[in-house]
Structure 1
Amino acid sequence: MELVYSPTTPNCNYFIPVIYHRSSCYPPQKLSSPLCKLSLCPVALFSAQQLLSETKMDALKQLEVSPSILFVTLAVMAGIILFFRSKRHSSVKLPPGNLGFPLVGETLQFVRSLGSSTPQQFIEERMSKFGDVFKTSIIGHPTVVLCGPAGNRLVLSNENKLVQMSWPSSMMKLIGEDCLGGKTGEQHRIVRAALTRFLGPQALQNHFAKMSSGIQRHINEKWRGKDEVTVLPLVKDLVFSVASRLFFGITEEHLQEQLHNLLEVILVGSFSVPLNIPGFSYYKAIQARATLADIMTSLIEKRRNELRAGTASENQDLLSVLLTFTDERGNSLADKEILDNFSMLLHGSYDSTNSPLTMLIKVLASHPESYEKVAQEQFGILSTKMEGDEIAWKDLKEMKYSWQVVQETLRMFPPIFGTFRKAITDIHYNGYTIPKGWKLLWTTYSTHTKEEYFKDADQFKPSRFEEEGKHVTPYTYLPFGGGMR
């Protein structure tokens, strides 16, 4: 079987022939073994890589204003604002760096780096020039980038004390403002409690068999027996198929395909200039989000009726759990909160799972010795099974080397670049002041690929994770982020 990789998603930059020899192909013999029965549990974690904020154009669409005059005016306004802002903070010691041009700052360089084969370039160039703390301006916001474990710890361990999660408003329009990421305080606690009831480690054990059988079914139907397959689209289809069954109980392929296509449009819009004007990707994403909301609203109402009629159970999937959730204080979720959190989870489980799974296959293809060790480990587990038995939750504990391979893959190719926070008070760090209202950015690449934290960081060495956590400095390995969020 010849597997061909498809570089069609904005966050998959690992299929460039100049960088990876025969980057599009996977040796055909690799999927001929029972290794295909290895079930990887997709985790709903959200990638905060959307980097462009909402441009308020709706009111301007009705005006006959020359674009050049419009943007010159905006640039002048931004320059005035930045001037007074800099005067306001002139008495404090800001981190070194460059705020770039008015309005755009260094956004273009930042986005260009993210879209390249070296997404870490923007950060590394400024680290070498300014050190582990520097200022820039991204998406119209003055931003302080904190690098290294100390910076990561500051950002990720001080939620609601020094910082708060801060997503671009354009992204919130596509996900939904009532999702977990848009909540703070007591509202955040309620939504988190509802989601944890289904997505917590203990709860996931109850749904592991459903996920495992769904993965095996997909492999048997769409992978096995093919002379050639394209990996990335198949991984996307696999992840969405499992997620839609687990979240909504959807088994109809035509509905899965419709939702999948809508999500693809939304994701493309998330990585585009946020102009809500016909013809632009962001406009198409807004329209797709509205259609997705209509479908999900009908699913919510249908399930509510099934629960009342007793034809659906309270714990059969996430939809039932959220509809029947009530905490110890009697709080429940409104339909809008349920809808927006489903939108968030679809984004997260899809976008931050496709890339790691695809890269895992590529890594095993590129390192035959690791492939053989993984295969032997899987054969050992399968040898204890009776004919027709599925992989069980307890079997995951026996996949020690397989897990090391996964961890090393996530280190070298982290699913997320980093996340933004907003300073809710003046922050004093390393002799500098980060003013209240400024954005903070931490990144995976400031530690994942650095020699001081991971010896031979550019080499694939699963053995570095042989003793869980023993040789990893805290806050240096954060493939999916961290903190209370």
Structure 2
Amino acid sequence: MEVVMVPYLLALLFLPLCLMFILRKRDSSSKSLPPGTCGWPLLGENVEFALLGPQKFIKDRMEKYSAQVFQTSIMGEKMAFFCGAQGNKFLFSSENKLVTSWWPQSMKKALLFPEFVESSLKQVSALKRSFLHDILKPEALKQYIPLMDAMARQHLHQNWDSNRVVTVFPLSKKYTFDLACRLFMSLVDPEEIKRLADPFTLVTNGMFSMPIDLPGTAYHRAIKGGTMVRDELMRIITQRRKELTENQETSGRDLLSKMLLVTDEDGQFMSEMEISNNIIGMLVASFETTSSAVTSVLKYLAELPHVYDQVYREQMAIAKSKGAEDLLTWEDIEKMKYSWNAARESLRLTPPAQGSFRETITDFTYAGFTIPKGWKTFWSVHSTHKNPKYFSDPEKFDPSRFEGSGPAPFTFVPFGGGPRMCPGKEYARLEVLVFMHNVVKRFKLEKEIPDEKIVFHASPVPVYGLPVRLLPHGN
């Protein structure tokens, strides 16, 4: 009896699973899903994405499946990769209509308080994007240019001037983080900044790694680092709220004070946790990607003497028009046209941000394929930036591409586009140009490792951090 019953019971157990599989398969086959593969069970195509790097991964699948949209499975999610200028335009213009912002669960666990991990990004960010745009638009940022210049001079004096060789990437990370802490929270104490910087580096190094929270893994270190960052931010925020209450301040002296003073439609102030979430988001956007951008620009200046020479001439013309102690102004930045074209060409060839995720909020059709509700989508710089359809001789470094009207719309997208375009675009432009100005005024650059490879972490970085030899002018 028992021998007979076991297969019978197994059949009863597996019958519903089989029916579910058949129904799901019938449902998916009734829809024309984008071509592609979801890879291995559980693993998806994470391994291929990591081994190939995002650029080759996307290029290979565009050639094999579709140059418009293909499906894959990354980070445990069914995902549609949208390609080309049309794909970028479609996703940028579909915000809050067909798609909404989304972060991978692994990233949210590393960055946010546990109470917010299951929340949507809209719920996490109590801060309106209009508020961010107001404080990060050119008119508001003009006042920060002299401080950016002063901090760049101080950074180079302390960390570059007395050395024959420096490693650019870690130093650019130090500069960008110090600057963000000063501008966002008025932090100047090196020890206080270090209490944020050290654990924050753990977060950025591990938040896109395999999400295995076990001792010894990069992701485990990211989780621990995130807790330390949040604890330190909560201490800073609580102290600032106390100061504002005691001093009865009505206008904020920095981003943190402005956040503490802003209210929603119901007159409610943001909580300390909500402010911490927003500052962490700002630090992520201004730290890893901007330091990667600075590093890439200096890499090309070290590799390409003809580009360096034109940048040097432009920057020295600005320097000679000022007194030795005069700090940069908005008018000076506006004169850096060739330098910004060179920086943009660097952003095209080595984009610091790879793209952005969205989540579909309804079924919709694109290029003849159905993208089901609940799927994740991704647009990527790598489907256009080196695509010969949009940029002739795409591997060549050519700043003249940005003269006149520049590249075709939705082909050059290092900051995204549409209503979700990175609000920190202008901040990044100023930071890169101010740093370029101060470096080329002091030094010529030569790479210590001519064929140093680029690897992808959260952003593309040189394997050895880009060590360069500093050659003072006149030597």
TM-score tier (shorter): 0.7 to 0.9
- Note the alpha carbon deviations across 1:5-48, whole angstroms, 9 max, x for none: xxxxxxxxxxxxxxxxxxxxxxxxxxxxxxxxxxxxxxxxxxxx
**Other-structure match for 1:171:** 107
**Other-structure match for 1:72:** none
Residue 146 in 1 paired to residue 82 in 2? yes
Q: CA deviation at 1:314?
A: 3.2
Q: Is the 8 A contact 2:116 2:124 kept in 1?
A: no
Give the Cα–Cα distance (whole angstroms) in 2 for the partners of residues 212 and 266 of structure 1: 28
Q: CA deviation at 1:283?
A: 2.0
Q: Which residue among 386, 389, 392 is the counterpart of 2:329?
A: 392
Give the Cα–Cα distance (whole angstroms) in 2 for the partners of residues 335 and 140 of structure 1: 32
Q: CA deviation at 1:442?
A: 1.3
Matched position secondary structure for 1:386: coil
**Other-structure match for 1:10:** none
**Other-structure match for 1:91:** 30
Give the Cα–Cα distance (whole angstroms) in 2 for the partners of residues 374 and 129 of structure 1: 41
**Other-structure match for 2:208:** 271
Residue 306 in 1 paired to residue 250 in 2? no
Give the Cα–Cα distance (whole angstroms) in 1 for the partners of residues 232 and 363 of structure 2: 44
**Other-structure match for 1:476:** 411
1:145-224 alignment runs, 5 A limit: 145-176=81-112, 190-224=127-161
Give the Cα–Cα distance (whole angstroms) in 1 for the partners of residues 18 and 328 of structure 2: 60
Q: CA deviation at 1:83?
A: 6.5
**Counterpart amino acid of 1:215?**
A
Give the Cα–Cα distance (whole angstroms) in 1 for the partners of residues 102 and 316 of structure 2: 46
**Other-structure match for 2:365:** 428
Matched position secondary structure for 1:229: strand
**Counterpart amino acid of 2:106?**
S
**Counterpart amino acid of 1:140?**
G
Give the Cα–Cα distance (whole angstroms) in 2 for the partners of residues 85 and 207 of structure 1: 56
Q: Is the 8 A contact 1:179 1:341 kept in 2?
A: no
Once the two structures are overlaid, the 10-residue window that deviates more, 338-347 or 100-109, is 100-109
**Other-structure match for 1:408:** 345
Q: Is the 8 A contact 2:107 2:207 kept in 1?
A: yes
Distance 1:307 1:175, change over 3 A: same
**Counterpart amino acid of 2:95?**
E
Q: CA deviation at 1:78?
A: 11
**Other-structure match for 2:62:** 127
- Note the alpha carbon deviations across 1:277-325, whole angstroms, 9 max, x for none: 3332222222221121111111111111222232977332111111111
Give the Cα–Cα distance (whole angstroms) in 2 for the partners of residues 359 and 179 of structure 1: 34
Q: CA deviation at 1:140?
A: 2.0
- Note the alpha carbon deviations across 1:199-239, whole angstroms, 9 max, x for none: 23222122222222111211121111322211111111111
**Other-structure match for 1:260:** 197
Distance 1:228 1:122, change over 3 A: same
**Counterpart amino acid of 1:294?**
D
Q: CA deviation at 1:352?
A: 0.6
Give the Cα–Cα distance (whole angstroms) in 1 for the partners of residues 290 and 62 of structure 2: 29
Give the Cα–Cα distance (whole angstroms) in 2 for the partners of residues 471 and 249 of structure 1: 37
Residue 338 in 1 paired to residue 280 in 2? no
1:42-57 alignment runs, 5 A limit: none
Q: Is the 8 A contact 1:359 1:413 kept in 2?
A: yes
Q: Is the 8 A contact 2:250 2:261 kept in 1?
A: no
Matched position secondary structure for 1:448: coil
Distance 1:79 1:471, change over 3 A: farther
Alignment RMSD, CA only? 2.6
**Other-structure match for 1:58:** none
- Note the alpha carbon deviations across 1:319-361, whole angstroms, 9 max, x for none: 1111111356534321111011111111111111111101101
Count of matched residue pairs: 403
Give the Cα–Cα distance (whole angstroms) in 2 for the partners of residues 79 and 113 of structure 1: 36
**Other-structure match for 1:378:** 315
- Note the alpha carbon deviations across 1:423-452, whole angstroms, 9 max, x for none: 111111111111111111111011000111
TM-score normalised by L of structure 1: 0.78
Distance 1:157 1:229, change over 3 A: same
Distance 1:359 1:123, change over 3 A: same
Residue 104 in 1 paired to residue 104 in 2? no
Gaps of 5+ in 2: 1-15, 421-475
**Counterpart amino acid of 2:84?**
G
Q: CA deviation at 1:273?
A: 1.8
Q: CA deviation at 1:192?
A: 2.0
Give the Cα–Cα distance (whole angstroms) in 2 for the partners of residues 81 and 281 of structure 1: 37
**Counterpart amino acid of 1:320?**
S
Distance 1:449 1:377, change over 3 A: same
Q: Is the 8 A contact 2:126 2:270 kept in 1?
A: no
**Counterpart amino acid of 1:162?**
L
Matched position secondary structure for 2:418: coil
The structure with the largest alpha-carbon Rg is: 2
Distance 1:387 1:87, change over 3 A: same
Give the Cα–Cα distance (whole angstroms) in 2 for the partners of residues 397 and 196 of structure 1: 20
**Other-structure match for 1:230:** 167
Give the Cα–Cα distance (whole angstroms) in 2 for the partners of residues 296 and 201 of structure 1: 27
Give the Cα–Cα distance (whole angstroms) in 1 for the partners of residues 349 and 117 of structure 2: 28
Q: Is the 8 A contact 1:194 1:322 kept in 2?
A: no
Matched position secondary structure for 2:100: strand
1:46-85 alignment runs, 5 A limit: 85=24
Q: CA deviation at 1:180?
A: 13
Q: CA deviation at 1:275?
A: 2.0
Gaps of 5+ in 1: 1-76
Matched position secondary structure for 1:389: coil
Once the two structures are overlaid, the 10-residue window that deviates more, 301-310 or 327-336, is 327-336
**Counterpart amino acid of 1:164?**
T
Once the two structures are overlaid, the 10-residue window that deviates more, 308-317 or 350-359, is 308-317
**Counterpart amino acid of 2:191?**
H
Give the Cα–Cα distance (whole angstroms) in 1 for the partners of residues 261 and 240 of structure 2: 11
Q: Is the 8 A contact 2:155 2:175 kept in 1?
A: yes
TM-score normalised by L of structure 2: 0.79
Q: Is the 8 A contact 2:169 2:295 kept in 1?
A: yes
**Counterpart amino acid of 1:157?**
S
Q: CA deviation at 1:186?
A: 8.7
